[in-house]
Every structure is written in structure tokens, then in C-alpha cells.
Amino acid sequence: MTRRKNSARRVSIIRTRENVMRAVFLFAACVTILCVALICAFLFVKGMPAIAEIGVFKFLGGMRWKPGNDLYGIFPMIIGSLYVTAGAIIVGVPLGVLTAVYLARFCPKRIHRLLSPAVSLMAGIPSVIYGFFGIVVLVPAIRAVFGGGKSVLTASILLGIMILPTVITVSESAIRAVPQTFYEGALALGASHERSVFFAALPAAKSGILASVVLGIGRAVGETMAVVMVAGNQAVIPASILKGVRTLTANIVLEMGYAADLHREALIATAVVLFVFILLINLLLSSVKRRAAK
């Protein structure tokens, strides 16, 4: 009887702990969802009246941003964000995925012990440090080689470097998660080590690699300080990749400190556009990821 009572108490204690932890996890999830909902509500409540007052087409398709003249066209900033993000993808994604393949399938353990912490360290470097690196190293180098300075090209290269830790870490985890039987089966069919990795293991990890691309794009689109320091911050559509550009995030940061009335609301509306922009990118890549998984 005593043993049964003790076992019953233990079961009761375990169930109580499980219920408490379940409640804690539920509370944490609800707080997270509430924070996202409050941010969305703030953006749309504060930003949509400005879009309505300015006009949707004038705001999204306007070519001139001059708050002093009541001109609030953000089309050049939208194009600038697209240019810089696309450049970052071109620079960072191939380099990051190939580095992840090397770390997961080709890298000796001794070298991996050095490279893996280095990649993690890159993720912890503040954005302003990347910006200083861009000003001191990238801007003079690009000016000497191509004739440009603070430009789309400089911002794209810098953002490509900044998204490397995200792409490398997530892609490496995805590649390592592929069952070893995929690789061994390719070897058994006569494929070389390289072909087994690139044609058997890597395609099986494409879902995780696409997830790394989504996270990298989110980092590139939302980056502000480094872009402000190297992009040139010109609110015009760049004629080439060697011209200056202003992104949506840079536009908000540069003018929010002194903005008032409609100008301030227009900047909040710019944040709404940025939010929708990131949401559409995530939805698009999520649909591509689902098709790839099929």
C-alpha cells in the first residue's frame, strides 16, 4: 500500500509539473503572438491614414520624396530596397551555401573547429562595425576599381557578407540532417564523393537551404545602420549599381528624429510598406519551399 501511495504521489507530482510547464509554454506563445499583433496594429493604425491622405498611387508610385514640399513618393526607396536585397542574395547565398557544403561534407575536423566558431562570431558582430568596414575597406576599393563609392554595389556586397552567418549555419544544419543513406546509396551506385554530395545529399536538404535564404533575405531587407553608412542615401532610382540609393529602412531612420505631423505618419506608412514587403517575400519563398518539398 505504501509503495502504491508513493507511486501515485510521484505520478501526481509529474502531472502537476507537466501542467505547469504546459501553461508556461502557452503563456510564452501567447505573449509572442500578442507582441506581433500589437506591432501590426500600431503600424496599420498609424500608417494607413497617411496613405489614404497622400493617396495610394502617389505614395507607392511617387518618384519624389520631399516632405518640405508635401511630396511623399517612396517608389525610389522600394526600388532601392529591391536592388540592394537582390545584390545581397547574389553575393551571399551562393557563397554561403557552398561554404555550408564544405563545412558539412568536405571540411576536416581540425579546420571545422576553427571555421565554425568564426562563422558564429560573424553573426555577433554589430551592424555598425560592418558599416565601418564598408566605409574603410569596401568604399575605397570599389571607387578604385569601378569608379563608384557609396553605391548599390557597395551595399549589396556588405549585406551579402552580413547574411553569410545565417545562410551558412542553417544550410549546414539542413545538410547534416540528411540521412546518411542518401549519400551511401549514391556511392553504391558508382557516384564519386562530390557527385554524391551535390546530386544526392544537397537536393534532399533544399527545404532547409530555402529556409536559410528566407532568413537571409529578412536580414538583408531589415538591415539599416550598415546600409545608411555605405549606400549613399539618395532618394532617386539609381541609374546603375555604382550610384547611390536609399532603402526603406534608411529612409525611416534618417528622418524619424525630426519628423512631425504628416511627415511622421508617412514614415510610419513606409514601415507598413516594408512590413508587407517582407511578408510577401516570406509567403513567396514559403510557396516555393512547399513545391520543392513535393
DSSP calls for 57-105: HHHHH-S-EEGGGTEE--HHHHHHHHHHHHHHHHHHHHHHHHHHHIIII
With cut-offs at 50, 70 and 90, classify the pLDDT of residue 294: low
| Residue 4 confidence (pLDDT) | 65
With cut-offs at 50, 70 and 90, classify the pLDDT of residue 30: very high
| Residue 45 confidence (pLDDT) | 86
Percent of the chain having pLDDT more than 70?
Answer: 95
The predicted-structure confidence for 81-116, as pLDDT tens digits, reads as follows 889 999 999 999 999 999 999 999 888 888 888 888
Q: Are 55 and 121 in contact (CB under 8 A)?
A: no
- Mean of the per-residue pLDDT values of the chain: 85
| Residue 3 confidence (pLDDT) | 63
CA–CA gap between residue 132 and residue 129 (Å, rounded): 5
Give, in order, the Cα–Cα distances in Å from 192 to each of 3, 67, 152, 184, 189.
61, 62, 41, 10, 9
Judge whether residue 290 has pLDDT over 80.
no
14 vs 242, residue with greater confidence: 242
Judge whether residue 1 has pLDDT over 70.
no
| Residue 6 confidence (pLDDT) | 66
| Residue 93 confidence (pLDDT) | 92
Q: Are 245 and 83 in contact (CB under 8 A)?
A: yes
Rounded to an integer, the average pLDDT of 67-90 is 88
| Residue 2 confidence (pLDDT) | 63
| Residue length of the chain | 294
Pairing status of strand 65-66 against strand 71-72: antiparallel
With cut-offs at 50, 70 and 90, classify the pLDDT of residue 123: confident
**Among 76-85, 130-139, 284-293, whose mean pLDDT is lowest?**
284-293
Q: Are 81 and 246 in contact (CB under 8 A)?
A: no
| Residue 159 confidence (pLDDT) | 92
The predicted-structure confidence for 228-260, as pLDDT tens digits, reads as follows 888 888 888 888 888 888 888 888 888 887 877
| Residue 157 confidence (pLDDT) | 92
Three-state DSSP at 245 gives: strand
Q: Are 248 and 277 in contact (CB under 8 A)?
A: yes
Segment holding 283, helix H or strand E: helix 262-293
Q: Are 166 and 123 in contact (CB under 8 A)?
A: yes
| Residue 64 confidence (pLDDT) | 86
Best CA proximity match to 221, nearest among 47, 78, 40: 78
Q: Judging by beta carbons within 10 Å of its beta carbon (0-12, 13-18, 19+), is residue 66 exposed, middle or buried?
A: exposed
With cut-offs at 50, 70 and 90, classify the pLDDT of residue 165: very high
